[in-house]
Structure 1
């Protein structure tokens, strides 16, 4: 494992020890352009920890954070952990009943949120157990001010932490059922810091743009925590906007980015890309899908960045594999090698390890695998055995150890016994002229059980002919892999990490089919 400087014993040591090492350096730049030094960040985190202790919130209790990418999120996250509590970032895009489910499931004692969210969620029957609501804006009846909570004298230091103590609960996206709270320890998180440093090359000179939501494991662990642990600066952005992102890169001299490939493609499609100074960018990480070679080449012309395709899950604390930048073009369909100190295997249906090149389910093992699911021992046993995480992804590993993700196990299309991996078809669709985004999913068929269908998003100003798309695919794929239906839309549903929601695509297709049948 790569050594850490300074040597963090726990997550809350990051702002505390960095304040001693580089107190005057800017740690966080807010969406409004305000600056927060490491010393100021540490002071506010310790003040929040002192407030929790003075409010009799015991170590191990859950502190939920329902906020966008704002400094109060950062303070609440590190401050809760400094008090020995468990931080629970919550997706602010969820509906009030969905938020209430998570707050109830984790038995949150404290919720840090906005007045708007408080009015939507606090009245839900299942959240009556929340003891304290802290609002970052104006107070409402039944709540306290987050600003006032920081008025107490700061705690002298973060609470001592054992490596395997649970520090964070991150809830899975719940696309196939109720979300589960992954229990992430200090060891898990700090190992991911080392993984980011070793594979992406983070250092104290970096300035990272954080547009991915902080309730998602990538934004939280592979950007916020990892960059601050390296002594870098983090620039927060509440909502994604391509023009604003490009302006921030130029204005703040951003060096480190992390997006889904579709975002980078939007960069390269702008006719005015040349007016933005992107010369500072040296790390451009991406995940959720492979990046088309032509997009890689266009990015290489636009910025001098090293490109890294990354694969990970909440259950491995963020990074699972990373593609070294020198293979960005030659192995563009690969998600790379397991991060140092970890293992990856592909297994068959009988649980046995498969030889190189054979497709099967991907398993991961290492210090990054989480402790399990909160309050769900049976689900934990189903997913994690003997230290191996059952990812639910179909993959193959070549003779050099490079991992290729083929599909989610639940998304693989079985056409009359013939397996179709949607990623293979999507890669061909991305080669079609005029296609900006592509998603392939299975739809019911009376004879074959299911067959492939596709949804495409056209490039700005482009027109897509579904029959021309199918002809393009027939020239490059076996006939049974060619989508039987091609739909054109202005969006493809994705979760906050950029992964395509195939369940939602199938649901929308079924809904349209029922309407047409009436």
Structure 2
């Protein structure tokens, strides 16, 4: 459905935090997006916070004035500590150097390819101070992926850590628009780059360098981190970033300058920038930035710095709470948590409450195109609505649409969920076609997720549209099954995918990572699921893994799991792999004709008997399995299964 196809007035069917907490109604207002500012939904009316700053730089300057001698940032593992005044001087020096020595102007792009470091902060705020656009680059990308993103935005300046320079130097000649590369630290690692310290020579510069910007100017470009197709550069406005900060503040029942944030996610991720750094900036709180996440380091930092709030992936919190050293440290200061990524189990929530004495524990999230937090499940609903995504945030409206762009106004109807509000990005960088496909003219951004809104107005995410399993004509929403699996106390991580099938077109498969020390069997998982989901949603294939493959941003690469059977060693042995395949399915399927080889339909038991015998047919069968995988011979004769499903989906 084209995003510009708007059919009538949209009500916005999801309940909001404004409805749950009437005091929030006093904090928001309706505003119209301006015209001729490059915003796809120009002229659309949205909810926005009344008392919102005009820009990120305005907030930074306020902190420098109000809290000059208060600690602003602590960096781990270097131990560098900086006050707001010190940060202000460094940022101003970077801005001065960029403007007067390197001709960096409003609208220019500066790409950041570093971990959590002082230089990241100086670069991000320095570029924004000049009206520039910061472009955080995923550190897990291969060299060619870095080149693609840097070239796509035509970045003028790069800031790179010495470690990442090893990747960047391979593609330096391919970076078509880059005029200068700064490597963090003091050493010059190559003639092709400059030490970042050169940007700090004007630390005592009296002139306060800045450019006039407002809330509708771009501050950053964030590349989508999905698992299929090419990444898109979603354009973040100053207003978007600050809305996210205010949303986090409301979700945890308030933040102030006395709070301390511990930032655990990588800084190239929206979560870290907009849910950790921005809320701390907004209220002048100290932010403790980890260069890379380590459970034990996080535990020690929470204790040492008396961290009071954090936004983190559930798996990070699980690793922290289950670390052998956790009980030896005092982490009771951490009382406000926001987490997200998937549904939480009751045992996880109870453990959080027990270990941290939380006053706020909010499961929240959104799509990249809506910055970071379009919805959140209030703390009091964490158990009652445990697999729901909760309510629209105070400055957001949420609804679901059918394929023709009509809003679905009846409860529990399944459609594509969309978000609208102060957090909605301007569109995709220089990609009008994809922008038109995703950003509606009325301000709603389509997510690509199937969802429903229940009788109480709570949002339930069901699945990515393209990942939905169709089993015998029944739609199976993978996220729904995964959410139930996460309620199992033995399950650490879970991914549900569809496996092609001669009879049903697809069968449901679950790949599960168990918690340390736990054991289970495929039948135990099936029995567990049968009590929670309908019969056709119960995974027939169940495979256990040590970890789930993921892209650099942490999203599971599901396609690679379709033909994964738990064999990590001796993968040349077709018989062993096939035996693991047999272990994953119910015994009743062992004598069903699931497999078709050269026109012959065979049961798994028949195939295994062939593989055990040293015949010409068994040798050919083994070669076919080794070459094409097992799934290739499970496929029905349907057009959608013509392309092999075993190629790893490492892009979005």
Q: TM-score, normalised to structure 1's length?
A: 0.94
Structure 1: segments with no counterpart, 5+ residues: none
Q: Distance in 2 between matches of 1:7 and 1:378?
A: 32
For the Cα contact (< 8 Å) 1:212–1:496, is it kept in 2?
no
Alignment match, 2:604: none
Alignment match, 2:216: 164
Alignment match, 2:270: 217
Q: Cα distance, 1:343 vs. partner?
A: 0.7
Q: Cα distance, 1:272 vs. partner?
A: 4.8
For the Cα contact (< 8 Å) 1:348–1:360, is it kept in 2?
yes
- Among 502, 510, 516, the alignment partner of 1:446 is 502
User: 1:298 aligned to 2:298?
Assistant: no
- Answer with 483-492 or 17-26: which moved more: 483-492
Q: Cα distance, 1:275 vs. partner?
A: 2.2
For the Cα contact (< 8 Å) 1:357–1:398, is it kept in 2?
yes
Listed one character per residue, the Cα deviations across residues 472-506 of structure 1 (whole Å, up to 9, x for unaligned) are 32344333212121111111234565543323434
Alignment match, 2:402: 348
Q: Cα distance, 1:102 vs. partner?
A: 0.3
For the Cα contact (< 8 Å) 1:218–1:497, is it kept in 2?
no
Q: Cα distance, 1:63 vs. partner?
A: 0.3
Alignment match, 1:336: 390
Q: Distance in 2 between matches of 1:271 and 1:291?
A: 22
Q: Counterparts in 2 of 1:304-315, with a 5 A limit?
A: 304-305=357-358, 306-315=360-369
Alignment match, 2:537: 481
User: 1:20 aligned to 2:74?
Assistant: no
For the Cα contact (< 8 Å) 2:227–2:556, is it kept in 1?
no
Kindly report the root-mean-square deviation, in angstroms, between the aligned alpha carbons of the 2 structures.
2.3
Greater RCO, CA 8 A, separation 6+: 2
Q: Counterparts in 2 of 1:480-499, with a 5 A limit?
A: 480-495=536-551, 498-499=554-555
Report the CA distance shift for 1:507/1:164 in structure 2 as closer, same or farther (over 3 A).
farther
User: 1:38 aligned to 2:76?
Assistant: no
- Among 256, 262, 266, the alignment partner of 2:319 is 266
Q: TM-score, normalised to structure 2's length?
A: 0.76
Paired residue secondary structure (2:446): strand
Q: Cα distance, 1:6 vs. partner?
A: 9.4
Q: Distance in 2 between matches of 1:341 and 1:4?
A: 7
- Among 63, 73, 98, the alignment partner of 2:110 is 63
Q: Cα distance, 1:197 vs. partner?
A: 1.9
Q: Cα distance, 1:28 vs. partner?
A: 0.4
| Equivalent pairs, count | 518
Q: Distance in 1 between matches of 2:564 and 2:157?
A: 37
Report the CA distance shift for 1:206/1:5 in structure 2 as closer, same or farther (over 3 A).
farther
Report the CA distance shift for 1:419/1:104 in structure 2 as closer, same or farther (over 3 A).
same
- Among 400, 403, 410, the alignment partner of 2:456 is 400
Alignment match, 1:129: 177
User: 1:232 aligned to 2:285?
Assistant: yes
Listed one character per residue, the Cα deviations across residues 118-173 of structure 1 (whole Å, up to 9, x for unaligned) are 23223424314210000003211111111111102365143110221111111111
Paired residue secondary structure (2:301): helix
Alignment match, 2:201: 151
Alignment match, 1:50: 96
Q: Counterparts in 2 of 1:245-284, with a 5 A limit?
A: 245-270=298-323, 272-284=325-337
- Answer with 408-417 or 309-318: which moved more: 408-417
Listed one character per residue, the Cα deviations across residues 167-193 of structure 1 (whole Å, up to 9, x for unaligned) are 111111142111111111112212222
For the Cα contact (< 8 Å) 1:101–1:126, is it kept in 2?
no
For the Cα contact (< 8 Å) 1:6–1:17, is it kept in 2?
no
Q: Cα distance, 1:36 vs. partner?
A: 0.8
User: 1:375 aligned to 2:430?
Assistant: yes
Q: Distance in 1 between matches of 2:228 and 2:477?
A: 19
Q: Distance in 2 between matches of 1:219 and 1:335?
A: 20
Q: Distance in 1 between matches of 2:564 and 2:155?
A: 34
Listed one character per residue, the Cα deviations across residues 308-331 of structure 1 (whole Å, up to 9, x for unaligned) are 010212211211011111111111
Structure 2: segments with no counterpart, 5+ residues: 1-26, 29-47, 572-576, 579-624, 633-652
For the Cα contact (< 8 Å) 1:16–1:42, is it kept in 2?
yes
